[in-house]
Structures are given as C-alpha cells and as structure tokens.
Amino acid sequence: MNKKCLTQLKSGLTKDEYKILARLSTPILIQDFIDSVPINFEKNGDTHMSPRRSLRENKMHCIEGAMFAAAALWIHGEPPLIMNLSTRYGGEDVHHVIALYKRGNRFGAISKTNHATIRFRDPVYKTPRELALSYFHEWFSNKTGVKSLSGYSKPLNMSRFGTEWITTEKDLYNIADALDEQAQYELIPKGNWRFVRKADPMEIKAGSIIEWKR
C-alpha cells in the first residue's frame, strides 16, 4: 500500500479497527482471526459486509472473510487479491471466494468457511490454477457425494476500488459483480467429468463436519 492509501485508510478506521488489522501481520494470523469469528448465516437476508461491518457484527461468510483478509494483507503492504471458485450447480452448491497471498513465488489462500476441508492453503502453489485445483477433491455435495468445483476467476485486486470498501456501511454487491466480470477459467475438461468419482461414505462423513452450528 502506498503512503497516500495508507493515510486514507488510517483516517477512515477507528483506532480499535486499525489496531486489530495492524496486529494481523501474517496470513496465518489473519486466518486464525477469521476462524475465530462466527459464520454469518445471513438470517436476516443476503449480505456482503465490509470489513468494518464484519468486525462490528462479529460474523462473516466467505466473501466477507476474503475482503477482510484482503484489507489486512493490504495494510501490511501486500496486494489485496481475492478470487472466486465456481461450481457446476446451484442450490446448496454455492461458489466460494478466497483471498490470495504469495510467499516467494508461490500462492497460498485465506478462506472463511464453515466446513473442514475448503480452508487455508499454504504458499506452495505455482499459479492460481494450481491453488484452485487443490480444492477439487474435497468439494462435493454432502447429500450426493457429487464433486462439482469447475472453475476459478482471474484474481481481483481490490485496490481498484480505493479504500472506501473497507469501511462502507453499504453491502458490497459491486465486488461480487466485479468478480463475475473477471476472466473465468475452467478446471476440468468437459469430457473428463464422466470419469470423476463421487465422494465415498467416509469422505462424506468427514465433509459433514462443521465449525459453527446454525
């Protein structure tokens, strides 16, 4: 983050908000923090809360966690990158948003989820595609066992939105729209879907573990 942006951000945050973000100085610390925040089940309707609102309301779902992680990374001089992971189906099988970071020339990910598997990724992946593929085998319906992770987006640099997205009281639907407008890449050749094995009963049992109860 350049000095101008950092000054704008500091002036927009309260001392307590900045103190929290400032102490989250590594991807592991950021992940540990968002893991401690309850899942936002959106009981009162769909939300895309800013990091400020997520802190105040003490809840986050995946895109809210990704935006919070991006803000923390940005404050510490790292690009605020988020990326969409997309699926073949709708319903319970929803898309997922993660924040990206790099160590050396390898990508890792910070992920807010209620499930046991599609979580943090260590920085061992050469490309966003490699990282996205690391989620494939554990991404399945707990009802049917069908695997469905199909693609990923070009990473979105949140700096293009200035700094207001970190503190706004408005829902950030424009960020979700911008992710949809990014280039989208398929992970699995269409002809190979017929060879994909369903998750077995043991995998489904493990996949059914959740961190926060509704």
Q: List the structure tokens of 91.
A: 């319903």
Asked if residue 126 belongs to a domain, the reply is yes
Residues in the chain: 214
- Contact between residue 85 and residue 156 where contact means Cβ atoms under 8 Å apart: no
Q: List the structure tokens of 106.
A: 């390898």
- Contact between residue 181 and residue 127 where contact means Cβ atoms under 8 Å apart: no
Looking at residue 94, what is its pLDDT? 74
Query: Assign residue 122 a region: left if phi > 0, alpha if psi is -120 to 50, beta otherwise?
Result: beta
- The range of the structural domain enclosing residue 81 comes to 3-207
Asked if residue 214 belongs to a domain, the reply is no
Looking at residue 116, what is its pLDDT? 87
**CATH code at 9?**
3.10.620
Looking at residue 92, what is its pLDDT? 52
Asked if residue 212 belongs to a domain, the reply is no
Asked if residue 213 belongs to a domain, the reply is no
pLDDT in tens, the chain (214 residues): 666 666 667 668 999 999 999 999 999 999 999 999 999 999 999 999 999 999 999 999 999 999 999 999 999 999 999 999 999 875 555 789 999 999 999 999 999 999 988 999 999 999 999 999 999 999 999 889 999 999 999 999 999 999 999 999 999 999 999 999 999 999 999 899 999 999 999 999 999 999 999 8
Q: How many domains does the chain have?
A: 1
Asked if residue 103 belongs to a domain, the reply is yes
Looking at residue 65, what is its pLDDT? 98
Model's pTM, two decimal places?
0.94
Asked if residue 155 belongs to a domain, the reply is yes
